[in-house]
Each structure stands twice: as structure tokens, then as C-alpha cells.
């Protein structure tokens, strides 16, 4: 290798500062830009890279990794044991308590009578409402989940007879569904998988079509979001759930019809990820027809399926197909104001921003992400697509754009003030 060539940070063990410099230079980033993104001085960056200053603490290492947009900490630290996917969001302060409740199974006899399934169902309804209405929805449901999980497990364990046992399993499955929303995009994917699989088992044991539909919808999402190697599993789960639900649809309640519609769209979402344009839009159209059978004011508390959500779903299909102009066209027709859920409204804004970014409109993308942040800061903070757009524009050569993105990144806690 030439003496002037850029070394490979993986070929030989290198100090943290050397890796930071190599990865910075590969991005074409100056020390001044990196310093600005980190809220540090240029001399601090130079001192770390030259080895005059030791590697910083883990929080600063994470910020460096975000600023350099490396996918895993191991790329920056050189240590395989720090193999952390940076597309995941930060760990929520309530994550440890939720994890403890999930991993600790009740063994003894409760001191008092365990809650009845109908009481737990009422508490779950309150928790879903809190999730939809609060801008800090993860914090709200993170506070409620530990007791809900423990009580739901106890209710199953001490159910009186098969009817109550099946009802308790349905409530436990829905509790795990709520937990999946809390765990999504947090740095503990194995816990998310454990919850998704437990939710599916509880739903199957409940023999409740609504519980089975919800758990199938969430398990299919877990497979889809794992990547292309899991798309077939996602499709299989969706197809099996729809096959099970379809005979029930002629006389179905709104909730059963909604979960079937959500599964139809889920199949379209996965098709869009595959790049199967015709299948994706055909599935979306089928889901839209099912949504039109629901009352105009109806909104499913778990999947958000409704007439109001179909415009947002169309934006998602176009974005996942990487059709920038079509994404923008669909965004113009979708009315975010009709989505009653704050986190779902914020998620829609993020999808719109992805479309504007694809269409070469970064300023509109940033303005749209600001709307997402206003609707639900905890949604955008944990969303990898939003974080990627903001950090990319924080490096823009356009001064006003760089400033706007950096200010939003600071508000979200991605970069130091």
C-alpha cells in the first residue's frame, strides 16, 4: 500500500482517534464541521485524532458515531463487543423497568386477588389512549407497562376456568402489543423479539380473532423490519392471519374488519420493500376498500387502521418504492390533521419528509420533520430515518439548511448544544 494511501481502519488495530480521523476523512468532513456537530472545539477534535487526548466517554463516542453516520459502534471503537446498531434509537430511561417486568415471571401466589381480565382490559384502554394523546408517549406507557405486564401474567396464571383463562391470554397478548410499541427502535432487539413471540403464543391460546390478528400484524412487522432475509416470513404470517380472518369478515365487528385491513396493508408494505410496485398498490387499494366499510370516525387503537390513515399509508408505499415525485404527490393528498394519534401523526410527517428528501427538497423535508417533532418528540427521536435526514443536512454546505438541521438535532438530543 502506498505511504500516502488512507489506511483501512479494520486491517490493523488502531486507536480510537485514528479511526475517528479515517472515518471523518472518508466522509469528506473537515475537523471544523465535526467539531460543530459535536459542540466541541476544532482543537478537541485534533487532540483526539492525534492521540494527545484519550478516547472520550461512551456518550461522546455515540455522538461521534452519529455525526460520522457509522452504522455500528464497532466501526469506530474497533471492539466487536460494542457491536451496536446506530439506526436504533437511544435507550429510554424506563427501558430497564419494562425489561425487568418482561423477564421476571410470577412464580408464587399473589398476596391479593389478581385483577380480572375485564379490569386489565380497561387499564389497557387507558394506556392506549395515553399513547395516542401524549407527545411523550414512550414515557407515559413506559410508566404503565411494568405493572400491566406483571398483572396480566398473574391473571393468566390464576385464571378460574378455561373461559377466564382464554380472556386473560387475550389481555396478555394485547399487553405485549403495547410493550412492542414501547420497545420499537430501542437498543434491545432480542427483547422485542421475545415480546413479539410471547404475544403471538398468548393470542393463539386465547382463541380470540382480534388478539390473533394484532399479534400477527406485529410479528410480521418484526420480521419485515429485520431485513430482506425475513420478508418471506413476514408474508407467510400475514397470509396465514388473513386466511384465518377472511371467513369472519361478512359479519365482522369494526375491530375485526380493521385488523384485517391493517394486515392487507402490511402485505403491501412488505411488497413495497421488495420493490414490487403493482402488488404494493393493489394491497393498498384492497386495504382502502376495507377502510371505507368502517365508520368515518373509527380509529383502531393498536394499528391506527381507519379511513384517516389511508393517505399516510399511500405516502409510505411510495417512499418504500423510492418514488420521490409520487411520494410528494401522495403527501399533497394526505391530511395529517385527520390522524387523531400524535405519534402516528408524527410518523406520517417523517414519511412525508423521506419523500421530500427523495424528491430533492431537503428544506421542505426539514420543515416537515419540525412538524413531526412538534407533534411527538419521542417519535422522531427514536426514528432512524428522521435521524439520518437531520444528521445529513447538519453537514450541508448551505448555511441556513445546516443551521436549521443542527438546531433540530440539538432539540432532539442528537447533538450537543
Q: What is the pLDDT of residue 55?
A: 78
Residue 246 has pLDDT above 70, yes or no: yes
The residue ranking higher by pLDDT, 287 or 21, is 287
pLDDT over threshold 50, residue 9: no
Q: How confident is the model at residue 416 (pLDDT cuts 50, 70, 90)?
A: low
The region of weakest confidence among 88-92, 140-144, 255-259, 295-299 is 88-92
Output the pLDDT for position 397: 86
User: According to the model, what pLDDT value does residue 82 have?
Assistant: 52
Note the pLDDT of residue 71: 65
- Quote the pLDDT of residue 3: 43
Whether pLDDT at 39 is above 90: no
According to DSSP, the residues that pair with 51 across neighbouring strands are none
Whether pLDDT at 129 is above 70? yes
224: which residues sit within 8 A by CB, 6+ positions away? 230, 231, 234, 266, 269, 270, 273
3-state DSSP helix/strand/coil % of the chain, to nearest 5: 70, 0, 30
What distance lies between CA 17 and its chain's CA centroid? Answer: 32
Res 281 pLDDT > 70: yes
Residue 211 pLDDT exceeds 90: yes
Q: Give the mean model confidence (pLDDT) for residues 249-258.
A: 97
pLDDT value of residue 88: 59
Q: What is the pLDDT of residue 10?
A: 43
What percent of the chain has pLDDT above 70? 91
- What's the Rg (C-alpha) of the chain? 23
- For residue 399, the model assigns a pLDDT of 92
Tell me the whole-structure pTM to 2 decimals. Answer: 0.82
The mean pLDDT value of the chain amounts to 89
Which pLDDT belongs to residue 12? Answer: 44
Distance CA 6, CA 4 (A): 7
Sequential DSSP letters for 90-111: PPPTTHHHHHHHHH----S--S
Q: Which residues contact 335 (CB under 8 A, 6 or more apart)?
A: 308, 311
Instruction: State the pLDDT at residue 108.
Output: 64
DSSP-assigned letter for residue 394: T
What's the whole-number mean pLDDT along residues 344-352?
97
**Stretch 219-240: mean pLDDT, rounded?**
94
Least confident of 15-24, 26-35, 235-244, 276-285: 26-35
3-state secondary structure of 328: helix
CA distance 240 to 229: 19
The pLDDT tens digits of the residues spanning 86-126 come to 555 668 999 999 999 999 887 666 667 789 999 999 999 99
Residues 186-202: pLDDT tens digits?
Answer: 878 889 999 999 999 99
pLDDT at 145: 98
**Which residues lie closer than 8 Å to 143 by C-beta, 6 or more apart?**
94
Mean pLDDT, residues 117-145: 96
Amino acid at each position: 500500500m502506498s505511504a500516502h494511501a488512507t489506511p483501512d481502519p479494520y486491517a490493523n488495530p488502531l486507536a480510537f482517534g485514528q479511526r475517528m480521523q479515517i472515518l471523518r476523512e472518508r466522509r469528506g468532513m473537515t475537523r471544523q464541521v465535526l467539531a460543530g456537530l459535536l459542540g466541541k472545539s476544532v482543537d478537541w477534535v485534533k487532540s483526539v485524532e492525534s492521540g494527545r487526548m484519550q478516547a472520550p466517554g461512551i456518550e461522546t463516542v455515540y455522538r461521534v458515531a452519529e455525526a460520522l453516520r457509522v452504522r455500528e459502534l464497532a466501526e469506530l471503537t474497533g471492539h466487536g463487543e460494542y457491536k451496536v446498531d446506530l439506526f436504533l434509537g437511544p435507550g429510554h430511561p424506563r427501558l430497564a423497568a419494562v425489561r425487568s417486568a418482561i423477564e421476571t415471571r410470577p412464580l408464587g401466589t399473589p398476596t391479593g386477588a389478581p385483577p380480572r381480565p375485564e379490569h386489565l382490559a380497561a387499564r389497557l384502554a387507558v394506556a392506549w389512549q395515553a399513547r395516542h394523546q401524549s407527545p411523550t408517549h414512550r414515557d407515559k406507557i413506559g410508566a404503565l407497562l411494568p405493572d400491566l405486564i406483571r398483572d396480566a401474567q398473574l391473571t393468566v396464571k390464576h385464571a378460574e376456568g378455561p373461559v377466564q383463562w382464554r380472556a386473560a391470554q387475550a389481555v396478555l397478548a394485547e399487553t405485549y402489543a403495547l410493550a412492542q410499541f414501547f420497545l420499537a427502535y430501542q437498543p434491545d432487539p432480542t427483547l422485542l423479539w421475545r415480546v413479539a413471540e410471547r404475544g403471538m403464543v398468548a393470542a393463539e391460546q386465547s382463541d380470540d380473532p382480534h388478539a390473533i390478528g394484532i399479534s400477527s400484524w406485529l410479528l410480521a412487522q418484526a420480521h419485515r423490519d429485520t431485513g430482506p432475509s425475513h420478508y418471506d416470513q413476514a408474508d407467510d404470517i400475514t397470509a396465514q392471519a388473513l386466511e384465518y380472518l377472511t371467513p369472519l369478515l361478512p359479519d365482522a365487528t369494526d375491530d375485526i374488519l380493521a385488523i384485517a385491513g391493517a394486515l392487507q396493508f402490511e402485505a403491501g408494505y412488505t411488497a413495497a420493500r421488495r420493490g414490487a410496485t403493482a402488488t404494493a398498490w393493489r394491497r393498498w387499494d384492497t386495504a382502502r376498500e376495507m377502510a371505507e366499510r368502517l365508520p368515518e370516525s373509527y380509529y383502531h387503537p393498536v394499528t391506527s387502521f381507519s379511513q384517516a390513515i389511508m393517505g399516510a399509508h399511500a405516502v409510505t408505499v411510495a417512499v418504500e418504492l423510492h418514488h420521490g415525485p409520487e411520494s410528494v404527490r401522495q403527501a399533497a393528498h394526505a391530511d395529517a390533521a385527520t390522524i387523531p394519534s400524535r405519534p402516528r401523526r408524527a410518523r406520517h410527517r417523517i414519511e412525508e419528509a423521506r419523500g421530500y428528501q427523495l424528491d430533492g427538497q431537503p428544506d421542505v423535508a426539514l420543515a416537515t420533520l419540525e412538524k413531526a417533532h412538534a407533534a411527538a418528540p419521542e417519535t422522531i427521536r427514536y426514528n432512524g430515518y428522521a435521524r439520518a435526514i437531520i444528521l445529513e443536512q447538519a453537514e450541508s454546505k448551505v448555511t441556513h439548511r445546516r443551521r436549521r438541521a443542527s438546531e433540530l438535532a440539538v432539540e432532539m438530543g442528537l447533538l450537543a448544544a
